[in-house]
A and B are shown apart, each in its own frame.
Chain A
């Protein structure tokens, strides 16, 4: 059974690994839209999926966060990938199943998954 005391061990372990992490190396931001339309369309498992995949692969340069309405409700769940000096990439109608692919192709190997982007759907 989980106890609050276990957090002591988690803290010590996290402290040890945190110092290894380089500071501010080209952070990639993954932003998931969490307004009503997004949540109703399935944004929670998508956000969960990104957090889990990024943690599992120990990708220290990726920050997963949430935002309100991105303004294209019919395309929710929407995920934006924001990188310095690069054009923002907008993934639409995301699902938890698509997360691993976006993480590995785009976030790790720098190949945008064009077929999931708003450009591919809206044309």
Chain B
């Protein structure tokens, strides 16, 4: 995938398929260590220990439309390629938690990318699911919680165009603020990535 925000969107689809009513997405950057930790947790149907063990095997899937399931394997590969780690913990009828740590200084690190779109789409497309999104940079953090938004919006759905726009802008602005107002480091990464991707393919 071109951006980690696309992997996050994809991993969250597994939580949606598992009938989660709450999905928690966390991005924590530690610039000194050069690490980005991404956690996607849900309270969906979970998996048995056997299923959990096989989940990063591309030939394991419970989908019926094709024989391979790639999402989790791709995310794991993306993390491990940077020298980072990947972990999935799950319990049947309790939920699942996917944790991936990326080494941001690795040449194989793909940027986080457009989280504004990932978060706003997840929220607008899944009105029955509560989302908590937290992003931190060296301890400076912001949190977006749909239950809070719903409290203010009442009958007006989170898919209302003005609300979707608000979510996009809010996430965008808050992300800039926790980065110290300047997206310097992020831009540098994106530029490096764009140079690299000229010779590279989609995934």
Query: Interface of A with B (CB < 8 Å)?
Result: 1-2, 4, 6-8, 10-11, 13-15, 18, 34-37, 39-41, 44-45, 47-48, 51, 55, 65-66, 68-71, 73
Contact = CB atoms under 8 A, between A and B. Distances in A.
A40 B13 CA distance: 13
Contacts, number: 91
Given A4-B148, A14-B160, A48-B121, A39 B155 contact: no
B152 A7 contact: yes
Contacts of B117: 44-45, 48
Contact of B66 (A39, A48, A71): A71
Closest 4 CB pairs of A and B: A55-B161, A71-B65, A36-B71, A2-B170
A15 B163 contact: no
Contact of A68 (B65, B118, B149, B152): B65
Q: Is the interface of B mostly helix, strand, loop or mixed?
A: helix
7 contacts: A6-B166, A8-B152, A18-B156, A39-B10, A45-B117, A51-B161, A51-B164
A37 B169 CA distance: 28
Q: Is the interface of A mostly helix, strand, loop or mixed?
A: helix
A42 to B, nearest CB: 8
B153 A7 contact: yes
Interface in B48-76: 63, 65-66, 69-71, 74
